[in-house]
Amino acid sequence: MSEHLILLENIHKDYGGVQVLKNINLYVRNKEFITLLGPSGCGKTTTLRILAGFETPSAGVVYFAGQKINDLPPHRRQVNTVFQRYALFTHMNVYENIAFGLRIGKRDVDENGKRLKLPKLAESEIGSRVGRMLELVGLSGYEKRDVSSLSGGEQQRIAIARALVNRPRVLLLDEPLGALDLKLRKEMQHELKAIQQEVGITFVYVTHDQEEALTMSDTIVVMNKGQIQQIGTPEDIYNEPKNAFVADFIGESNIIDGIMHEDKLVSFCGRRFDCLDGGFSSDEPIDVVVRPEDIEIIAPEQGQLVGTVQSIVFMGVHYEIMVETEHFTWMIQTIENQQVGSQVGLMMTPDDIHIMRKPKSSSGEAEE
């Protein structure tokens, strides 16, 4: 069997004449933690709903384990979904909420989505599975608790347990940490990754939070305006963004207009710099991206650029310093403090300078 458990092929989706997904091509590996990342309205949740069967693509094909599933209803798909709003049943206790996933579950569907005639699960088996799920999410002994008495983090764990109890091959998670406070959200990032590794199934996760994506994912799919901008590992997405949108959305970036004169030679801010990029036209207008942590502050007489410190903010583990040069105001992240008003030099190596083609306008011309 192919390691590609899910394949989206040329997926388009229109709502009332508005195209919200444009030619989405994506595969998801078996047992992978993949995150769809992007701003509100980028199409990530619509993509997830198409995988779940809650939406049907306007064009294109959805494959699951090699089988076309465009017309397969949600209850016959080997997936379960966890939403931001957990939708727990307040009239049921914890045990009953999790067991509900078995009593209406998908155990009557084989690996090809066909309905099977199976005997009803014995209550002892249901109890065993519920207990195993509670142990997995760290809530053993909570069986008789009223769900309305649980904290937000505990309710989220119960929702995950309910989604996993009938053993789906894929768990879809639509911004499940969005309602939690910052500290608990960070804790649950690690918990979710541990759960995914423990159960050994595929997680498809939707978020607009780049830290969540970088922390948990094997693969990140960056989306914007209904299109995929880049697919890669967290390291690839952060260190080698494909365009200025990705660079700006994933972490902080300095983005400057420049000219690519020839392979490995670029100019910006009034001077020329060596870089590692090639394959551009002679004197092509481009975007230059430099991460704030990649700029070194040195003595003015030694700098490639010279500027004045405009502001300093202590961020806990580093200082965020704004330095105004003749052509651009740079954001720099460093562990060494400076003085507001002082003159400093800035140094960048060729490896720190990333060259991006400018996005095309609707006329096909590069946007200035």
Q: What is the mean pLDDT of each run of 10 residues along the chain (368 residues)?
A: 83 93 96 96 96 96 96 92 83 92 59 55 88 92 92 88 91 86 84 91 95 94 97 94 92 94 96 95 95 96 97 95 97 96 97 89 51
**What pLDDT shows up at residue 362?**
46
Res 186: pLDDT: 86
Total tally of structural domains belonging to the chain: 2
pLDDT of residue 212: 92
Instruction: Choose among 90, 93, 118: nearest CA to 105.
Output: 118
- At 216, which helix (H) or strand (E)? helix 210-216
Positive or negative, the CA dihedral 289, 293, 297, 298 is: negative
What pLDDT sits at residue 253?
Answer: 93
How buried is 104 (Cβ within 10 angstroms: 0-12 exposed, 13-18 middle, 19+ buried)?
A: exposed
**Using CA atoms, how far apart are residues 320 and 54, in angstroms rounded to an integer?**
44
Shared-domain flag, residues 270 and 185: no
Rg of the chain's alpha carbons, rounded to an integer? 25
CA 221 remoteness from chain centre? 6
Q: 198 and 100, same structural domain?
A: yes
Measured CA distances, 324 to 240, 258, 298, 305, 331 (Å): 26, 18, 15, 10, 9
Boundary of a domain, candidates 239, 268, 292: 239
Same structural domain, 56 and 138: yes
Query: What pLDDT, on the 0 to 100 scale, is given for residue 114?
Result: 59
pLDDT of residue 12: 97
Contact (Cβ atoms closer than 8 angstroms) between residue 56 and residue 50: yes
Same domain assignment for residues 205 and 96: yes
Query: Are 229 and 268 within 8 A, CB to CB?
Result: no
- Do 125 and 131 touch, CB atoms closer than 8 A? no
Residues 132 and 71 in one domain: yes
Owning domain of residue 25: 4-239
If you search the block for the tokens 């394949």, which residue do you land on? 7
Question: 50 and 197: one domain?
Answer: yes
- Determine the pLDDT at residue 116: 52
Q: What is the pTM of this model?
A: 0.84
| Rounded distance between C-alpha atoms, residue 213 and residue 209, angstroms | 7
Question: Looking at residue 363, what is its pLDDT?
Answer: 45
User: Is the same domain home to 34 and 183?
Assistant: yes
